[in-house]
Structure 1
Amino acid sequence: MMVKKNLVLERLRKNQPALGGWIMGNSPVSAEIMALSGFSWVCIDAEHSQVSKETALDMFRAIELHGAEPFVRVSSNNEVEIKKYLDMGARGIIVPMIKSLKDVLNALSHIKFPPEGNRSYALPRCTGYGEFSKEYFIEANQEIFIAIMIEHIDALKDLDDIFACKAINAVFVGPYDLSGSMGIPGQFDNIDFRKVMKTIQSKAQQYGVTMGLHEVHPTSEKILELLKKGIRFIACGMDTIFLMEKSKEFASLNASNICNKTEKPAYNNHSAK
């Protein structure tokens, strides 16, 4: 047996889009549906959801079953947190609240085996419970996708050093946290916020780091526009938003006066025989 190539890394190396799903709900079924739909990757949000590690493991299995890569946004840049998800088979790690080069190096040390990092060796699920551990220990450093999140204004002073790290595969911007750290929460049209975003994007382009984006309310038009701008790593919506938006679309008919505007049905007063 052998460690397969990371589908997302392969697509990005070819300058192809890598579109993914995002899971907030505590349901392996949602994860399976996202993977079954054809996304290249599906990310479990372990930072802002109630998903347990036991449930995440079932999600990973469901995602892998349909050929997508199981990713996770960890709750913090913490060795034990990251190690647990890697050991259970995460193929991509998204690390939140990166503010400095030191934060990046800490994350890399948690994700990479020696000599590139300090990840500890074991024989968990990611190694086939030891069945292909030798291959995994050799290849994991190249096949684990690593994305960092820039979501605090303090990161700007270290952007050059952060983006110069070749081990980073993509960068996500957390717009709400970033704008909040600037004292203008949610003001995405603010001129200062737009300048900061432009700086991050230009630095990413300068250093050849893939720019990622989470389009929470996606449409085909929005995603195509992002692809035209050169953004290749895109999270499309999330399970909870998809469920809410589609539910509201039809529930709104319940609150309307549509029945008063249509012809009343002809009822049969005869009992069924």
Structure 2
Amino acid sequence: MDSFRSKKIATNPVTEKLRGGQPCVGSWLTLCSPVAAESMANMGWDWLVVDVQHSPVGFETMLNCFRAIQLGGAVPLARVPWNETIWIQRTLDAGALGLVVPMVNSRADAEATVSNMRYATRGQRSYTTSRVAAYLDADYRTWADDNLAVIVMIETIQAVEQAEAILSVDGVVGCFIGPNDLALSMGITMKETGPGTEHEAAMLHVLEAAKKVGRAAGKHCFTAGEVSMRIGQGFQFLALASDGAFLAKAAQAELNAVDFAGTASASAQDLSGKLY
């Protein structure tokens, strides 16, 4: 059965790419489905984030999504519900190779995030082995301190103003801008965002702060075109839509293409029964 064993993980590809200045593109998982997670992972994303903050996913389903992501060849990450000790430590124990931590608004918030993700003497993470330890080509304790992707969310105008201090914290690998919450904190709607707006200026300020201190900046994007544009600007940790958004978009497009009058002629491809 040795031939069926998975390859041991030597380093975290996400952390390695971000520290090396390379773009790293992934997507969000909101459907609470390990099957969907495995299907997405097989498409070639660098990473996939199980959204534990804004989806109804349960803890065991989250764990099974991590397994499916790993099986499909992507790096399993999670967005925890809050910058809180129990969620951070339990999610890491379940096998996440990095976390996106919301509402990090100050240097102290960032220090707390890192402390919860590192073992003593560098942090306060309580020791146990992780589910993913068996798949590592190293001792998990020391591997985790150097390889976990610590991504703090900058999603308020207060955090934007403190971006350099936040990103200067030892152990922070990068940041992830939440454009919707940032707009809320600025008292504007998403219709008031885009090129030339204060919202765009705030995001670019975070990008420059990240470059200054040698950290990766990222954000959630809604189209492939935006991902490409942001890579050109120097953003690295970029999310493209989500499993739920892809499902809805494809389903809506196919439904809208149905000719309910039955007047359109079908090609051989239309009759093949293939969905993709």
TM-score (norm 1): 0.87
Alignment of 1:136 with 2:140, yes or no, is yes
C-alpha change, 1:2 and 1:242, in structure 2 (3 Å) is: closer
Alignment of 1:103 with 2:106, yes or no, is no
Q: Is the 8 A contact 1:177 1:185 kept in 2?
A: no
Structure 2 CA distance for aligned equivalents of residues 233 and 181 of structure 1: 22
Q: Which residue of 1 aligns with 2:167?
A: 163
C-alpha change, 1:133 and 1:180, in structure 2 (3 Å) is: same
Alignment of 1:89 with 2:95, yes or no, is yes
Q: How many residues align?
A: 258
Q: Which residue of 2 aligns with 1:259?
A: 262
RMSD, aligned α-carbons: 2.4
Q: CA deviation at 1:89?
A: 0.7
Which has the higher mean CA deviation after the structures are superposed, 160-169 or 107-116? 160-169
Q: CA deviation at 1:246?
A: 0.4
Q: Is the 8 A contact 1:3 1:136 kept in 2?
A: no
Alignment of 1:28 with 2:31, yes or no, is no
Q: Is the 8 A contact 2:47 2:77 kept in 1?
A: yes
C-alpha change, 1:87 and 1:237, in structure 2 (3 Å) is: same
List alignment gaps of at least 5 residues for structure 2: 1-6, 267-276
Alignment of 1:151 with 2:155, yes or no, is yes
Q: Give the 3-state SS of the residue equivalent to 1:237 in structure 2.
A: strand
Q: Which residue of 2 aligns with 1:270?
A: none
Q: Percent identity?
A: 31
Structure 2 CA distance for aligned equivalents of residues 115 and 61 of structure 1: 30
Q: Which residue of 1 aligns with 2:269?
A: none
Q: Is the 8 A contact 1:91 1:145 kept in 2?
A: yes
* Deviation digits for residues 116-154 of structure 1 (CA, Å, limit 9, x no counterpart): 1100011342333xx989811122100100111111122
C-alpha change, 1:118 and 1:188, in structure 2 (3 Å) is: same
Counterparts of 1:7-46 in structure 2, within 5 Å, are 7-46=13-52
Work out which of the residue numbers 205, 230, 233 in structure 1 matches 2:234: 230
Work out which of the residue numbers 214, 233, 243 in structure 2 matches 1:239: 243
C-alpha change, 1:253 and 1:263, in structure 2 (3 Å) is: closer
Alignment of 1:6 with 2:9, yes or no, is no
Larger Rg: 1
Q: Is the 8 A contact 2:28 2:241 kept in 1?
A: yes
Q: CA deviation at 1:204?
A: 1.4
